[in-house]
């Protein structure tokens, strides 16, 4: 199959579900050879969904596991072209005063050290092969300002945004682009309890009501944003955090009393 990523080798971490799964399938459908990486056996189901996807089990927060992942991808014909550092955990919504240092360390190991390892090993492999590639990290609107996630999660995603900016600068002179995508409220395994609770209470229509589109997003919509950042269409996009949130972060919170067509002030 031909497409934007024909014959390119792509790594996606956290590919067992949600955004990672959608991204792996999107790349495969556009001609890529995808190495789908996850700590759960759900990644085997993702691999079974498309012949161009291969599953690999491992821990995105482990230096040894990520090094092995990148080596496997780099050893394929054509080398490693794209890496999507998507693996993450939510850490729950416990308040700042209710979390321990151990809680923070466990979350940061996956959410921030994981992307660092993907960039470090991925960029080394790309440089060794001539210095061309794209690295995309999954951040979040929670990393932009408060109110969209728990304290540790929000801090970790703010770190991811700064990490891609720093990495883009550190890789000056190469042709390796490093960017982030910042999803808003997306229906994934991480947010499923929220969606399930709203549906049980008959309040599904209120999901996403704080953004101008007044709906939650789908994993496939984020996958398309990731594919854009990985593609040649984004050849001059580097060190950026692309927000995909239905417009949620475009304004400070305010009471929504006006409807479309009514007088504005």
How many other CB atoms sit within 10 Å of the CB of residue 227? 25
Q: How far is Cα 235 from Cα 27, in angstroms, rounded to an integer?
A: 17
DSSP type of residue 83: E
Q: How far is Cα 212 from Cα 100, in angstroms, rounded to an integer?
A: 36
State the catalytic residue, choosing from 153, 242, 243, 246: 153
CA of residue 156 relative to chain centroid, distance: 13
Q: How far is Cα 92 from Cα 130, in angstroms, rounded to an integer?
A: 41
Q: Is 236 a catalytic residue?
A: no
Q: How far is Cα 20 from Cα 43, in angstroms, rounded to an integer?
A: 10
> Which class for 220: exposed (0-12), middle (13-18), buried (19 or more C-beta within 10 A)?
middle
Cα radius of gyration rounded to whole Å, the chain: 19
143's CB contacts (< 8 A; 6+ apart) are 154, 156, 157, 158, 159, 160, 161, 182, 241
Contact 24, 53 (CB under 8 A): yes
Query: Where in 28-76 does DSSP place strands (E)?
Result: 33-38, 53-57
Q: Any idea which residues carry the catalytic annotation?
A: 153
């Amino acid at each position: 199959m031909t497409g934007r990523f024909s014959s390119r080798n792509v790594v996606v971490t956290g590919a067992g579900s949600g955004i990672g799964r959608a991204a792996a399938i999107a790349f495969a459908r556009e001609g890529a050879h995808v190495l789908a990486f996850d700590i759960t056996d759900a990644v085997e189901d993702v691999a079974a969904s498309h012949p161009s996807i291969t599953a690999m089990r491992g821990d995105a927060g482990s230096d040894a596991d990520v090094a092995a992942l990148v080596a496997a991808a780099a050893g394929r014909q054509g080398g490693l072209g794209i890496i999507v550092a998507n693996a993450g955990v939510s850490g729950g919504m416990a308040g700042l005063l209710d979390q321990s240092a151990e809680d923070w360390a466990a979350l940061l190991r996956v959410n921030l050290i994981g992307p660092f390892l993907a960039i470090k090993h991925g960029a080394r492999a790309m440089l060794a092969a001539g210095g061309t590639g794209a690295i995309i990290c999954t951040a979040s609107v929670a990393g932009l300002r408060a109110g969209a996630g728990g304290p540790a999660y929000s801090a970790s995603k703010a770190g991811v945004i700064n990490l891609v900016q720093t990495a883009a600068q550190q890789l000056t002179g190469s042709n390796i682009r490093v960017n982030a995508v910042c999803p808003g409220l997306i229906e994934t395994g991480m947010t499923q309890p929220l969606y399930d609770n709203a549906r049980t209470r008959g309040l599904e229509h209120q999901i996403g009501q704080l953004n101008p589109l007044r709906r939650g997003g789908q994993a496939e919509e984020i996958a398309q944003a990731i594919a854009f950042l990985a593609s040649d269409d984004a050849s001059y996009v580097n060190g950026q955090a692309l927000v995909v949130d239905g417009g949620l972060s475009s304004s400070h919170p305010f009471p929504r009393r006006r409807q479309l067509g009514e007088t504005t002030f």
